[in-house]
Amino acid sequence: MSEAERNRIAVLIDADNVGASYVREIFNAACRFGEPIVRRAYGTPQCFQSEGGWQRAQREYGISSKPQVSNVTGKNVADIALVIDAMECLYTLPCDGICIVSNDSDYTALAAKIREAGKQVYGIGHAKAPISFRSACTKYVVLKKPAKEPPAQPEPEPRCPRCGGKLVKGWTKSRRVCLACEACGGMSAK
């Protein structure tokens, strides 16, 4: 039985700190450490409202969103919520390890506490993460820039159904907009 097969891990994502474009890489790395039985993301409500961001990631990867509303400007309530849930996972859930997805040095003490409790703590984040957090983790995985999606293919130019010539914007005798063929002079109007 491999390490990944017997370990049950909690994946806790600081969504304010790591973008949704990294979700595939996050879970590829997490699955090397064990089976993610807990999948949660923490951030501002806006993080979870964008269709292209964490909202799509939630559906594709079974992530439970934990939007946090700050009562006072400048406080990061998402970080506190992540720490509280990490303690819950550490002491009440059947987790063998906890995966913290962030670049934030504020999680250094949390990582140290998890290790002191005899559990594995895995960090996943960017290379800019401070050495204090990276060293406190059992293992730390540096995320690579996600591959850019290929640009959308441009719409093909409209062609004349009669001769295959290029259609351009034109005008009928009654001054209605139409498409006119440069080659044969044919016109198409609504």
- pLDDT, tens only, 39-86: 999 988 887 876 667 888 888 889 988 888 877 776 688 899 999 999
Distance, in Å, from the CA atom of 15 to the CA atom of 45, rounded to the nearest integer, reads: 10
Distance, in Å, from the CA atom of 54 to the CA atom of 23, rounded to the nearest integer, reads: 9
Structure tokens at 156: 């093909």
pLDDT of residue 150: 56
Mean pLDDT, rounded, of the chain: 85
Residue 21 has pLDDT above 50, yes or no: yes
Question: Which residue, 71, 72, 10, is CA-closest to 41?
Answer: 10
Distance, in Å, from the CA atom of 188 to the CA atom of 92, rounded to the nearest integer, reads: 70
Residue 175 φ then ψ, to 5°: 65, 35
Identify whether the C-beta of residue 103 lies closer than 8 Å to the C-beta of residue 17.
Answer: yes
Of all residues in the chain, the percent with pLDDT exceeding 70 is 88
E strand or H helix at 142, and its extent? Answer: strand 139-142
User: Is 166 or 51 the better-scoring residue by pLDDT?
Assistant: 166
User: Is 83 or 166 the better-scoring residue by pLDDT?
Assistant: 83
Specify the 3-state DSSP secondary structure of 98. strand
Distance, in Å, from the CA atom of 184 to the CA atom of 190, rounded to the nearest integer, reads: 19
pLDDT digits (tens, 9 = 90+) for 76-87: 888 999 999 999
Question: Which residue, 146, 125, 145, is CA-closest to 137?
Answer: 125
Least confident of 74-88, 147-161, 165-179: 147-161
User: Is 118 or 163 the better-scoring residue by pLDDT?
Assistant: 118
DSSP state of 86: H
Identify whether the C-beta of residue 122 lies closer than 8 Å to the C-beta of residue 140.
Answer: yes
Tell me whether residue 97 is exposed, middle or buried, using C-beta atoms within 10 angstroms of its C-beta: 0 to 12, 13 to 18, 19 or more. buried
